[in-house]
Amino acid sequence: MNDKKIFDLANSKFLSKELSLIESDVSERCICASLKGYLEKEIEKYSKYKKYHVDVEYNRNAGHVKTIINSDFKVIQVTCDLIIHSRGEDEKNDNLIALEMKKSYQSEEKKNADRERLIALTRSEKNNDVWSFDGKTFPRYVCGYKLGIYYEIDLPNRIILIEYYRGGNLVGKDIKRLKN
């Protein structure tokens, strides 16, 4: 089972059981907190992922506020809406999934800032001079997430747009239709 399949299974269950929560137009934080439970149940099923934690708005990296370097080489503090990571327990494979959630009525500027963050978060520290990683100390800037997910809720059109990022690139899109 890979990271995307785990997310897709958890998201499918979440959408089928928590539709009324989404339809009530609660905050992204509330929706992410609910999705967290479904992700935890899925990762618990696979020994490969049992060491991972699902956290909402987690903003620490080895005791420091998480930062990334964007495409303009600006250092930006980052707090993802939801992440799956080992909380530093597995230094070589700490970061599994980073998810950014937006409502469709948010500005394109905010949506694109989330996408830019996912691009930076999913870049590999080993393929870029900006990040140092020796397997013992954490990189100064957070990166190396295996999968980035942009999750946009469009209530008026009753769809969820999902974009998948790997290695700093958009690698796929999916649209989930909300049931009536």
Q: What is the pLDDT along the chain (180 residues), one digit of tens a residue?
A: 799 999 999 999 999 999 999 999 999 999 999 999 999 999 999 878 888 999 997 655 555 555 556 566 666 656 789 999 887 777 677 788 999 999 999 999 999 999 988 998 898 755 444 444 444 454 555 567 899 999 999 999 999 999 999 999 999 999 999 987
Structural domains of the chain sorted by starting position, each given as residue range(s) with its CATH number in brackets: 3-177 (3.90.1570)
Supply φ then ψ for residue 143, to 5 degrees.
Answer: -165, -175
Q: Could you tell me the pTM of the whole model?
A: 0.84
State how far the Cα of 82 lies from the Cα of 32, in Å rounded to an integer: 6
Angle, nearest 10°, between helix axes 3-17 and 28-44?
Answer: 120
Residue 92, pLDDT score: 72
Q: Where are the alpha helices (DSSP H) in the chain?
A: 3-17, 19-23, 28-44, 108-122
The total of other beta-carbon atoms located within 10 Å of residue 10's CB is 21
State how far the Cα of 152 lies from the Cα of 30, in Å rounded to an integer: 14
Q: Reduce the DSSP state of residue 171 to 3 states and report it.
A: strand
